[in-house]
C-alpha cells in the first residue's frame, strides 16, 4: 500500500504526453497503468478514485466505459465509481466525453443499489436518453421506494416537457401519499405555484401518520417556497395533527419562517412563538427545574423524534454533529445557562455553531454549519446532519445565520415536559447515572429499514448476511441511539404492539489487533454476528480482531409486551493488547 501511495503522489504530479486532440492529463501515467490490465484488483479502487478526482474528460470516459462493461469492474467498485463520477460532475463540472446514453443499461440493472446510483449520475449529467426509463420507474407501483425516489428526482433534474408532465401527474390526486409528496417536491424545482397548490390539497387529505419532510424540504430550500406554500395553505382545511406535524418538522430543521409558521400554528391550534424569558422568569424556572424536574423523564423527551434533539446533538459520542456535544454540559454549566440555551438559543451561539446561509444560482436557499471550504467548494452540515458539498461557482450570495435551533421549538412541550428536559440536560456529566461514560458500549446503531421477509421469517444464512446486510445500500439503514448509560430501548423500535424482528448494526474501529470480549445484554431472543461470523445464542463471546473497521450485527425479536433494552459492551480480556474505538456520530 505504501508503494501504491508513493506511485499515486508521483504520477499525479507528472504531466503525460498528450494525444494530438486531447488535453494534457494530470493522471497520464496512472491511466497507462490502469489500461494496461496489470493493476492488481485490490489496488484498483484507489487508482480509479484518483482518476475520477483529477483526470480530464477523456480519462473519465475510460472509467465510464469500464463502468458500463459487464466485466469491466467488480460490482462494489462499480457502485463506488458511479458515486465518484457523480461527485466530479457536481463539484468539478466535468463529464466524460462522447455519448453517455449507454448509462440507461445500468438504470435498469437488477442490482437496485447500482441502479439507484446510475439514476443519480444520469440526473447530474442530465442524460436525456434515460428519461423514458425514469418515467416508467417513477410511475411503476412495483418499483422499490428507493428507485422511485431517485427516478422522480432524476426527472426533475433532467427536465423537459414530457418529464415535467409525468411529475405533475404523479403529484396529483389518485397517487399514494408518499409518492405524491416526492413528486410535489420535484415540481417545486420548475413550478413552485403548481407545487404549492398540490401540496395544499395533499395536506388536506393527509393523516398525521404521513411524513411531510421531503415535501417541506423542497419548499424551504426554494427562495420563495415557504411564502408561496403559506399563501396556498389557507385554501385547505388541515387537520390539527397534520399541521402540528408539519410545524414540528419545520422547527426541527432550524426554520421558523414567520408566514408559514403562523399559518401552520393557527391550523394546529398552537400559540405563537413566546418571547425570550426575562431574568426573573429564568430564575423562577431554575427553582422549578430543581424542585420538580425529573431527569429520567427528561431523557425520554430528549429522545423524542418530533423534537429532533438527537438529530443535532450527540450524547456519549452518539447523535448529531450539528450542535454542541452534550455529554459533560451539565457538569460545566449552571442550570440558568441551560434554561436560556433551550428557550433563547440565539442568546449566545459559539462561533463554530453559527450557521451560514447560501443562496444558489438556481434559486435555492441552503443553511448549515460549515465544515471546511476551499477555492472550489464549501462543505457544510445541514440541520439533518447531512454533509452538503456546494461548488463555489453555484453560490449567488452568502450570509451569516443564527443558531440551527430555532426559538419556539419548546412550544410543543407542556410545562412539566420542559422542566424535565432541562433537568436531564443539567445532569449530563455530573456523577451518577448521567456521568460521562467510559466509551466501551455501542451507542450509535444502524437499524435496517423494512427488512425483507426472508430476513424476518428465519435466521439468515451466511450468503444472506453478506448480500442483504453487510453489503446493503447504506440508505437502507436509519440511525438509532442508546441512552446515556448504553442501553438501546427496544420499545422505540417495535412496530405498534406487534412482534417485530429488528436488525441492528454497530461498528468498531480496531487500531491494534488482539482478542476482544463482546457482551450482549437483553431479555429478548437474539442472534449475534461479528463480521458475518455467527455467535448463535451467545451473550458473551471473545473474538480476535485485526486492524480496520468491523461490524457487529444483532438480530433481535422484540415481543409484543414491554421489552427490555439491549446493551452491547466491549472489553479487553486479560493479556490482550487490542486497541479499539467504538464508532459513534450520527
DSSP-derived secondary structure for 149-190 = HHHHHHHHHH--HHHHHHHHHHHSTTS-HHHHHHHHHHHTTT
The Cα–Cα gap between 235 and 228 comes to: 12
Strands (E), 492-578: 500-512, 514-521, 526-530, 533-534, 540-545, 548-558, 567-571
In this model, does residue 12 exceed pLDDT 60?
Answer: no
> Which residue, chain included where needed, has cell 445541514?
382
Do residues 488 and 556 lie in contact, with contact meaning Cβ atoms separated by under 8 Å? no
Model pLDDT, residue 13: 44
Do residues 40 and 48 lie in contact, with contact meaning Cβ atoms separated by under 8 Å? no
Q: Which of 125, 151, 17 is nearest to 64 (CA)?
A: 125
Name the strand (E) or helix (H) holding 296: helix 295-302
pTM above 0.75? yes
In this model, does residue 502 exceed pLDDT 60?
Answer: yes
Do residues 400 and 357 lie in contact, with contact meaning Cβ atoms separated by under 8 Å? yes
Model pLDDT, residue 523: 86
The Cα–Cα gap between 95 and 87 comes to: 10
User: What structural domains does the chain harbor?
Assistant: 2-205 (1.25.10.10), 279-350+406-427 (1.10.760.10), 355-400 (2.30.30.100), 444-582 (2.60.120.260)
Tell me which of 442 and 174 has the higher pLDDT.
Answer: 442
Name the strand (E) or helix (H) holding 372: strand 365-373
* pLDDT interval class at 10 (50, 70, 90): very low
In this model, does residue 3 exceed pLDDT 60?
Answer: no
> Which residue, chain included where needed, has cell 486497541?
579
Model pLDDT, residue 346: 82
Specify whether the backbone of 264 is left (phi greater than 0), alpha (psi in -120 to 50) or beta. alpha
The separation between CA 98 and the C-alpha centre of its own chain, rounded to angstroms, equals 34
Model pLDDT, residue 312: 85
Grid cell digits, residue 328: 459533560
Model pLDDT, residue 479: 92
In this model, does residue 425 exceed pLDDT 60?
Answer: yes
Average pLDDT taken over every residue of the chain: 89
The Cα–Cα gap between 204 and 202 comes to: 5
Model pLDDT, residue 412: 81
Tell me which of 349 and 377 has the higher pLDDT.
Answer: 377
Q: Which of 201, 187, 322, 346 is nearest to 252 (CA)?
A: 322
Secondary-structure percent of the chain, ordered helix, strand, coil, rounded to 5: 45, 20, 35
In this model, does residue 446 exceed pLDDT 90?
Answer: yes
Report the range out of 39-53, 234-248, 306-320 with the highest average pLDDT. 39-53
Model pLDDT, residue 292: 96
Q: Which of 409, 418, 408, 211 is nearest to 301 (CA)?
A: 418
Burial label, 445 (beta-carbon count in 10 A; 0-12, 13-18, 19+): buried
**For the chain, percent of residues with pLDDT exceeding 70:** 95
In this model, does residue 2 exceed pLDDT 50?
Answer: no
Collect all residues with Cβ–Cβ distance below 8 Å to 171 and sequence separation of at least 6: 180, 183, 184, 186, 187, 194, 195, 198
**For the chain, percent of residues with pLDDT exceeding 90:** 58
Tell me which of 251 and 232 has the higher pLDDT.
Answer: 232
Q: Which of 270, 215, 209, 206 is nearest to 238 (CA)?
A: 206
Q: What is the pLDDT of residues 59-97, one digit of tens each?
A: 999 999 999 999 999 998 999 999 999 999 998 999 999
* pLDDT interval class at 212 (50, 70, 90): very high
Maximum Cα–Cα distance for the chain, whole Å?
A: 81
The separation between CA 96 and the C-alpha centre of its own chain, rounded to angstroms, equals 29
Burial label, 509 (beta-carbon count in 10 A; 0-12, 13-18, 19+): middle
Q: What is the pLDDT of residues 13-66, one digit of tens each?
A: 444 434 445 677 888 898 998 888 888 988 999 999 999 999 999 999 999 999
Do residues 353 and 314 lie in contact, with contact meaning Cβ atoms separated by under 8 Å? no
Do residues 97 and 22 lie in contact, with contact meaning Cβ atoms separated by under 8 Å? no
The Cα–Cα gap between 428 and 369 comes to: 24
Helix (H, G, I), strand (E, B) or coil at 252: helix
Q: What is the pLDDT of residues 126-173, one digit of tens each?
A: 999 999 999 999 999 888 888 999 999 999 999 999 999 999 999 998
Model pLDDT, residue 22: 61
DSSP letter, residue 209: T
Amino acid at each position: 500500500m505504501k508503494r501504491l501511495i508513493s506511485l499515486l503522489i508521483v504520477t499525479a504530479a507528472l504531466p503525460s504526453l498528450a494525444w494530438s486532440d486531447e488535453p494534457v492529463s494530470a493522471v497520464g501515467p496512472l491511466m497507462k497503468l490502469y489500461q494496461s490490465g496489470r493493476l492488481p484488483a485490490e489496488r484498483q479502487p484507489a487508482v480509479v478514485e484518483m482518476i475520477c478526482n483529477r483526470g480530464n474528460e477523456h480519462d473519465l470516459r475510460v472509467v465510464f466505459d469500464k463502468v458500463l462493461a459487464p466485466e469491466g469492474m467488480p460490482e462494489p467498485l462499480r457502485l463506488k465509481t458511479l458515486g465518484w463520477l457523480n461527485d466530479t460532475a457536481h463539484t468539478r463540472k466535468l463529464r466524460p466525453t462522447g455519448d453517455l446514453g449507454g448509462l440507461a443499461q445500468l438504470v435498469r440493472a437488477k442490482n437496485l443499489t447500482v441502479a439507484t446510483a446510475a439514476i443519480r449520475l444520469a440526473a447530474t449529467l442530465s442524460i436525456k436518453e434515460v428519461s423514458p426509463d425514469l418515467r416508467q420507474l417513477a410511475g411503476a407501483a412495483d418499483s422499490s421506494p428507493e428507485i422511485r425516489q431517485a427516478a422522480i428526482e432524476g426527472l426533475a433534474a433532467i427536465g423537459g416537457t414530457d418529464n415535467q408532465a409525468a411529475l405533475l401527474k404523479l403529484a396529483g390526486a389518485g397517487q399514494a401519499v408518499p409518492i405524491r409528496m416526492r413528486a410535489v417536491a420535484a415540481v417545486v424545482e420548475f413550478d413552485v405555484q403548481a407545487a404549492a397548490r398540490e401540496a395544499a390539497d395533499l395536506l388536506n387529505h393527509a393523516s398525521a401518520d404521513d411524513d411531510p419532510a421531503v415535501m417541506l424540504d423542497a419548499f424551504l430550500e426554494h427562495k420563495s417556497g415557504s411564502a408561496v406554500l403559506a399563501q396556498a395553505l389557507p385554501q385547505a382545511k388541515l387537520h390539527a395533527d397534520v399541521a402540528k406535524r408539519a410545524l414540528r418538522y419545520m422547527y426541527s430543521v432550524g426554520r421558523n419562517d414567520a408566514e408559514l409558521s403562523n399559518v401552520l400554528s393557527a391550523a394546529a391550534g398552537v400559540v405563537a412563538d413566546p418571547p425570550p424569558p426575562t431574568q426573573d422568569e429564568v430564575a423562577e424556572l431554575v427553582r422549578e427545574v430543581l424542585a420538580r424536574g425529573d431527569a429520567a423523564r427528561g431523557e425520554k423527551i430528549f429522545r423524542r423524534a418530533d423534537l429532533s434533539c438527537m438529530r443535532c446533538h450527540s450524547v456519549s459520542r452518539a447523535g448529531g454533529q450539528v450542535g454542541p456535544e452534550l455529554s459533560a454540559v451539565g457538569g460545566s454549566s449552571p442550570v440558568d445557562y441551560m434554561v436560556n440555551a433551550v428557550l433563547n438559543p440565539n442568546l449566545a451561539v459559539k462561533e463554530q455553531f453559527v450557521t451560514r446561509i447560501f443562496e444558489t444560482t438556481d434559486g435555492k436557499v441552503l443553511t448549515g454549519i460549515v465544515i471546511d471550504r476551499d477555492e472550489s467548494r464549501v462543505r457544510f452540515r445541514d440541520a439533518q446532519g447531512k454533509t452538503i458539498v456546494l461548488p463555489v461557482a453555484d453560490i449567488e450570495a452568502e450570509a451569516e445565520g443564527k443558531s440551527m435551533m430555532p426559538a419556539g421549538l419548546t412550544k410543543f412541550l407542556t410545562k412539566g415536559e420542559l422542566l424535565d428536559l432541562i433537568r436531564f440536560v443539567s445532569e449530563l456529566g455530573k456523577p451518577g447515572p448521567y456521568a460521562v461514560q467510559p466509551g466501551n458500549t455501542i451507542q450509535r446503531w444502524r437499524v435496517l429499514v423494512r427488512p425483507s421477509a426472508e430476513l424476518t421469517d428465519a435466521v439468515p444464512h451466511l450468503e444472506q448476511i453478506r448480500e442483504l446486510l453487510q453489503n446493503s445500500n447504506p440508505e437502507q439503514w436509519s440511525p438509532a441511539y442508546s441512552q446515556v448509560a448504553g442501553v438501546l430501548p427496544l420499545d422505540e423500535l417495535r412496530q405498534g404492539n406487534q412482534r417485530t424482528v429488528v436488525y441492528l448494526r454497530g461498528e468498531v474501529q480496531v487500531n491494534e489487533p488482539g482478542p476482544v470480549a463482546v457482551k450482549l445484554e437483553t431479555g429478548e431472543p437474539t442472534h449475534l454476528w461479528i463480521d458475518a461470523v455467527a455467535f448463535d445464542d451467545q451473550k458473551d463471546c471473545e473474538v480476535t480482531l485485526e486492524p480496520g473497521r468491523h461490524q457487529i450485527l444483532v438480530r433481535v425479536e422484540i415481543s409484543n409486551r414491554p421489552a427490555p433494552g439491549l446493551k452491547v459492551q466491549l472489553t479487553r480480556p486479560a493479556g490482550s493488547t487490542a486497541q479499539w474505538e467504538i464508532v459513534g456520530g450520527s
